[in-house]
Chain A
Amino acid sequence: MSETYDFLFKFLVIGSAGTGKSCLLHQFIENKFKQDSNHTIGVEFGSRIVNVGGKSVKLQIWDTAGQERFRSVTRSYYRGAAGALLVYDIASRETYNSLTNWLTDARTLASPNIIIILCGNKKDLEAEREVTFLEASRFAQENELMFLETSALTGENVEEAFLKCARTILNKIDSGELDPERMGSGIQYGEASPRHAKHMHGTQLQNRQQCNC
């Protein structure tokens, strides 16, 4: 029943409707493409433990609805997120154009230290491409984002996107740039953490949390 991990990171998947956020999550968690995907209502939740740089990290991923009507709800999920996948559809310029809005939301509503990776999804739709790699990577650079083009259909770069984000957060913890102890950091220690002893009570709680996932 119990799974051990060193850290727990809260991740968000954000971006316009129809960019394939839920499919990315599904691909990452189940290693499968989600065929008949409906619109997400509010938020969806998934988690997976990954190994990053010798540490096991539990990613708790909140997949938010992209539709405008859910904006008010999904915004309230931003708080306490350590990392985010900002997703657009390479075959839809409209979704690319709205990135600025999503980015502003994330920076304002989540922790200011949130690590964001930009994902140009639907890489497999090369023929219908409307946003070039170069253009998007320039946008990423200007806004200090990491960048990858992904395909939830083939699974290309999906795992990499999540791992890259997690790795950056871990590095920042190691370098002291991020303090997991600070409230709202979106980072919690796990059972296997070296800080374990300091968090006697935490152990129990983590146990609970795991069995409820």
Chain B
Amino acid sequence: MTQNEEIRENMLRQVLEHLSQQNESQYHKILTSLAEVATTNGHKLLSLSSSYEAQMKSLLRIVRIFCHVFRLGPSSPSNGNDMGYNGNKTPRNQVFKVRKVYDVFRKIDVKEMNVTKHAIIYHTPSSQDPLELLWHSLDEWLVLIAAELTQNKETSTNIACLLLKQNPVNQQDISLAHHSDFGEDGSPEHLSVLPSTGHFASCEAAVNQEAVADGQDVISMTANRLSAVIQAFYMCCSCQMPPGMTSPRFIEFVCNHDEVLKCFVTRNPKIIFDHFHFLLECPELMSRFMHIIKAQPFKERCEWFYEHLHAGQPDSDMVHRPVNENDILLVHRDSIFRSSCEVVFKSNCEKLKQGIAVRFQGEEGMGQGVVREWFDILSSEIINPDYALFTQSADGTTFQPNSNSSVNPDHLNYFRFAGEILGLALYHRQLVNIYFTSSFYKHILGIPVNYQDVASIDPEYAKNLQWILDNDISDLGLELTFSVETDVFGAMEEVPLKPGGASILVTQENKAEYVQLVTELRMTRAIQPQINGFLQGFHMFIPPSLIQLFDEFELELLLSGMPEIDVTDWMKNTEYTSGYERDDPVIQWFWEVVQELTQEERVLLLQFVTGSSRVPHGGFAYIMGGSGLQNFTIAAVPYTPNLLPTSSTCINMLKLPEYPSKEILKDRLLVALHCGSYGYTMA
């Protein structure tokens, strides 16, 4: 929407707001007229020859105004102005009345739908609410499309045909082409493009028979238009509900048209973000579409994720801006955890979303590199066993909340802090130096855990659970009950798995329930307060509706980046400046040295230059600098004896002196790495 249109919308809204507040009949007249205009607009939008963009925008604009005026009621008591016009109004009642009218309509509408399904001519209700006409048309369209879908299911021999929107009449013409397409690239994204209407038209001409506007094309041609109307419908339904609640009418609507809506989303998953973003706010509705979304490439979901995460934020966080001295997070290197915790709790969440500036006490360094280092060492601190917040998994590589963290009296606040740091890092695409257990990622995502997740903290126990499931336990005399003994700092406590669990025996019949409950106890219930604390902090930056786009493995990639450093990829994505060329002997030596380094030393080198020990998802091509993507760069510095390499972490630049030999280069580099990868001074 251009600014101009926005101003016009605002003006119009203000005028209508003012007029509608004058008296009750005026209010109703305005609402009706708005509804009429919206209805006409909506119908036009459904007309294929109209401009989709323009009609969609104007429909949504009108509906926004309609909802705004509707919400106001005939006159809002909070608005002091209304005293000037007419004193005796009962706005709440009035709104209520309108709601009742809507309810009546709703009932009629539902009845009607049933009737039309049986193709019986029905009588129109009085057309007091013109918008109901539009919703009615919308319903009819969706019913039509559902019919088209079934029809195509019958005529298509396999599911690929259906997905490929094949015209049964033209099957011979295009089936070959489409099948080969499908063979090469079966991604659903590909499907949404096929076939173009032009293609269809030409096929139609070629077949030269009574032209059939193919059902699949009806769907692809109307999907966007219908989706926009659905969005408008949602807005109207929502404006009659208290904020945060999804209208039952809308839920019913989605259930009724489940199949068609799924088809739309399958065709073009972006519809979710263009028109159905409300789905993200309503988990019970979203769950219907989740499997379709999850089938989309990870990269695309990342884009959607950040697009919506940053929607409404004034500027990208990657852009350098003058930092207000008060907004700098000043932390102490020697008490990084506590000092960071203090400053983060004190700062404003919205400001942190706009950008983070960190300075270590007593150091001058500032900028993206410092921020990266802060996240890096802070995340290592979070899992520091001294704080007892997280425990290692069985193999020592991953972490999850410690069920006994309450030994640290302030532990829940620290979990909230940990959640905030992780959320903040994800928000700003910073990587952290922690790997969690898959069950903990599942907790972040809100996915239920299963017994296999137990393996990460106790592989032996998981094996036992597996064994219980796999074998008949009737005659073994295990004498298991629905309770578990746990070790709380040496003292054994019996915890029932469900009320009265200690006296319920585990049998062949209920063993599945037992395994699930044990899993939940060990993986969830035991650390529920910790999880809740963590999520409370995490959700300050990352709404649960968006994070659910990913699974636990993808979340790990998002949070922690790639664990291995690929030297070939590194070389490929490195630039050279100030006199260095790819073929210079010094550069050759440098890469030979890097090849010789241990994995750990490579991480140190990466950290030395970029401030982060992690390679972002996608490899070195996606390393971030102070202002967006910034490749790893090596710059030449004149050599003087004993001079060490230095770096500018903001721009990922390694300043490498022109060493006379490979041996000296390696020696100096290692000295720099082992002494200098932490701490900033102006070199």
**A176-212 vs B, Cβ < 8 Å mask (1 yes, 0 no):** 0000000110001000000000001110110011001
Stretch at the interface among B38-46, B177-185, B483-491: B38-46
Give bound CA distance, A75 to B193, whole Å: 31
User: CB distance A41 to B213 under 8 Å?
Assistant: yes
**B482-510 vs A, Cβ < 8 Å mask (1 yes, 0 no):** 00000000000000000000000000000
Q: Which residues of A contact B213 (CB under 8 A)?
A: 38-41, 65, 67
Closest to B212 in A: A39
Whether B7 sits at the interface, judged by CB under 8 Å, is no
A175 to chain B, nearest CB (A): 23
B490 to chain A, nearest CB (A): 72
Closest to A208 in B: B37
Q: A38-B201, A105-B121, A212-B55 are in contact. Are A205 and B29 (CB under 8 A)?
A: no
Whether A80 sits at the interface, judged by CB under 8 Å, is yes
Whether B147 sits at the interface, judged by CB under 8 Å, is yes
User: CB distance B41 to A212 under 8 Å?
Assistant: yes
User: CB distance B43 to A62 under 8 Å?
Assistant: yes
Q: Which residues of A contact B141 (CB under 8 A)?
A: 42, 73
Give bound CA distance, A94 to B415, whole Å: 76
Give bound CA distance, A71 to B147, whole Å: 12
Q: Which residues of B contact A42 (CB under 8 A)?
A: 46-48, 141, 144, 218, 222
User: CB distance A41 to B221 under 8 Å?
Assistant: yes
Whether B683 sits at the interface, judged by CB under 8 Å, is no
User: CB distance B137 to A76 under 8 Å?
Assistant: yes
Whether B36 sits at the interface, judged by CB under 8 Å, is yes
Within 8 A of B (CB), among A163-179: none
Q: Which residues of A contact B44 (CB under 8 A)?
A: 45, 212-213
Of A40, A45, A79, A202, the residue contacting B50 (CB under 8 A) is A45
User: CB distance B133 to A73 under 8 Å?
Assistant: no
A19 to chain B, nearest CB (A): 14
Whether B67 sits at the interface, judged by CB under 8 Å, is no
Q: A44-B47, A45-B44, A73-B141 are in contact. Are A201 and B218 (CB under 8 A)?
A: no
Stretch at the interface among B124-132, B284-292, B422-430, B462-470: B124-132
Whether B593 sits at the interface, judged by CB under 8 Å, is no
Whether B577 sits at the interface, judged by CB under 8 Å, is no
Of A62, A72, A80, A208, the residue contacting B130 (CB under 8 A) is A80
Give bound CA distance, A41 to B288, whole Å: 29
User: CB distance A104 to B12 under 8 Å?
Assistant: no
User: CB distance B143 to A209 under 8 Å?
Assistant: no
Give bound CA distance, A43 to B112, whole Å: 21
Chain A interface SS verdict (over half): mixed
Whether B10 sits at the interface, judged by CB under 8 Å, is no
Q: A42-B46, A67-B213, A205-B33 are in contact. Are A108 and B121 (CB under 8 A)?
A: yes
Give bound CA distance, A159 to B43, whole Å: 24
Within 8 A of B (CB), among A130-170: none
Whether B560 sits at the interface, judged by CB under 8 Å, is no
Q: A42-B47, A108-B123, A212-B54 are in contact. Are A73 and B144 (CB under 8 A)?
A: yes
Closest to A207 in B: B12
Q: Which residues of B contact A76 (CB under 8 A)?
A: 133, 136-137, 139-140
Q: A72-B116, A80-B127, A184-B127 are in contact. Are A201 and B26 (CB under 8 A)?
A: yes
Whether B49 sits at the interface, judged by CB under 8 Å, is yes
User: CB distance B46 to A72 under 8 Å?
Assistant: no
Q: Which residues of B contact A38 (CB under 8 A)?
A: 201, 204, 211, 213
User: CB distance A109 to B37 under 8 Å?
Assistant: no
Give bound CA distance, A140 to B126, whole Å: 29
Whether B478 sits at the interface, judged by CB under 8 Å, is no
Closest to B139 in A: A76
Whether B669 sits at the interface, judged by CB under 8 Å, is no
Of A45, A109, A201, A204, the residue contacting B124 (CB under 8 A) is A109
Chain B interface SS verdict (over half): helix
Q: A39-B211, A209-B37 are in contact. Are A184 and B16 (CB under 8 A)?
A: no
User: CB distance B133 to A183 under 8 Å?
Assistant: no
Q: Which residues of B contact A212 (CB under 8 A)?
A: 41, 44, 54-55, 58
Q: Which residues of A contact B46 (CB under 8 A)?
A: 42-43
Q: Which residues of B contact A75 (CB under 8 A)?
A: 116, 140
Within 8 A of A (CB), among B62-85: 62
B541 to chain A, nearest CB (A): 40
Whether A33 sits at the interface, judged by CB under 8 Å, is no
Whether B562 sits at the interface, judged by CB under 8 Å, is no
Closest to B137 in A: A76
Q: Which residues of A contact B136 (CB under 8 A)?
A: 76, 79
Give bound CA distance, A69 to B144, whole Å: 8
Closest to B204 in A: A38
Give bound CA distance, A20 to B41, whole Å: 25
Give bound CA distance, A105 to B222, whole Å: 25
Whether A77 sits at the interface, judged by CB under 8 Å, is yes
A8 to chain B, nearest CB (A): 9
Give bound CA distance, A109 to B127, whole Å: 12
Give bound CA distance, A209 to B144, whole Å: 28
User: CB distance A205 to B47 under 8 Å?
Assistant: no
Q: A72-B116, A184-B124, A209-B37 are in contact. Are A204 and B62 (CB under 8 A)?
A: no
Whether A60 sits at the interface, judged by CB under 8 Å, is yes
Whether B15 sits at the interface, judged by CB under 8 Å, is yes
Give bound CA distance, A97 to B43, whole Å: 30
Q: A45-B49, A72-B140 are in contact. Are A204 and B211 (CB under 8 A)?
A: no
Give bound CA distance, A104 to B119, whole Å: 14
Within 8 A of A (CB), among B190-233: 201, 204, 211-213, 215, 217-218, 221-222
Within 8 A of B (CB), among A17-65: 38-45, 60, 62, 65
User: CB distance A208 to B121 under 8 Å?
Assistant: no
User: CB distance A41 to B137 under 8 Å?
Assistant: no
Within 8 A of A (CB), among B240-292: none
**A96-116 vs B, Cβ < 8 Å mask (1 yes, 0 no):** 000000001100110000000
Q: List 15 A-B contacts (CB under 8 A).
A: A38-B201, A42-B222, A43-B43, A43-B47, A45-B43, A62-B43, A73-B137, A73-B144, A75-B116, A76-B136, A80-B130, A108-B123, A188-B36, A201-B26, A205-B34
Q: Give chain A's interface residues, CB within 8 Å of chain B.
A: 38-45, 60, 62, 65, 67, 69-73, 75-77, 79-80, 104-105, 108-109, 183-184, 188, 200-202, 204-205, 208-209, 212-213
Knowing that A201-B16, A201-B33, A212-B54 are A-B contacts, what are 9 other residue pairs whose CB atoms are under 8 Å apart, sorted by A's residue number?
Answer: A39-B211, A44-B47, A44-B49, A45-B47, A67-B213, A72-B116, A76-B140, A108-B123, A208-B12
Q: Please name the 6 residue pairs, one residue from A and one from B, whose CB atoms are nearest each other, closest first.
A: A184-B127, A45-B47, A39-B213, A76-B137, A76-B140, A212-B58
